[in-house]
Amino acid sequence: DYAQQGEDRTGQLTPFHDTAGQSVNNAQTSFQPFMDEAADTTRGAFAKTSGAGYAGAIEDYTNPFESGVLDNMDYDRDVSLNTYKDNVAKSGAFGNDRRAIGEAEIYGANDRSKADMRYKGYESARDQANTAFNQGITSANTLADLGTQTQTNQINAANAADQHGNIITAQDQAER
């Protein structure tokens, strides 16, 4: 506490010293909400993109219309196959090797197209999931930086208040 009138006032604390002490106390806790949020954000990013969660994260970014497009490709294949069978029947080739090879080529071309589309869809969804993960980690880093900066600001405020208190104490002592 402050020295009474007439007492030795050497080393007396001023209200600025009290402010410095409060700033130090604030510095000890002010960063914690940012760090907690950063930890939660990081956990969320890792949970969505690790283990079984990774498949779910990728699925979240899969084009919902992909299955409709693939179904249409099967329809188009069936139309091509029927046209091919009609042409083969008109030429009189019922059940021969040439017909079987032609049908296999139609099925193979369709399967390759569908596989390529699925791969491209997966690749796009994977890239989007990875981008979301990286954004989550960047957000967590930003929150951690904000917490650190908040703590640094509190410590700087404590130092400034302490220095101001020291100046006042020195001036007070010099006046005696």
Render pLDDT for 105-146 as a digit per residue (tens, 0 to 9): 999 999 999 999 989 988 888 888 888 888 888 888 888 888
pLDDT band at 53 (very low <50, low <70, confident <90, very high): low
Q: 17-39, pLDDT tens digit by residue? A: 777 777 777 777 777 888 888 88
Cβ–Cβ < 8 Å for 23, 175: no
DSSP assignment letter at 64: T
Cβ–Cβ < 8 Å for 126, 101: no
CA atoms of 145 and 150, how far apart (whole Å): 8
pLDDT band at 49 (very low <50, low <70, confident <90, very high): low
pLDDT band at 76 (very low <50, low <70, confident <90, very high): very high
Cβ–Cβ < 8 Å for 35, 141: no
Give the distance, in angstroms, between the CA of residue 101 and the centroid of all CA atoms in the same chain.
50
**Whether the predicted pLDDT of 71 surpasses 70:** yes
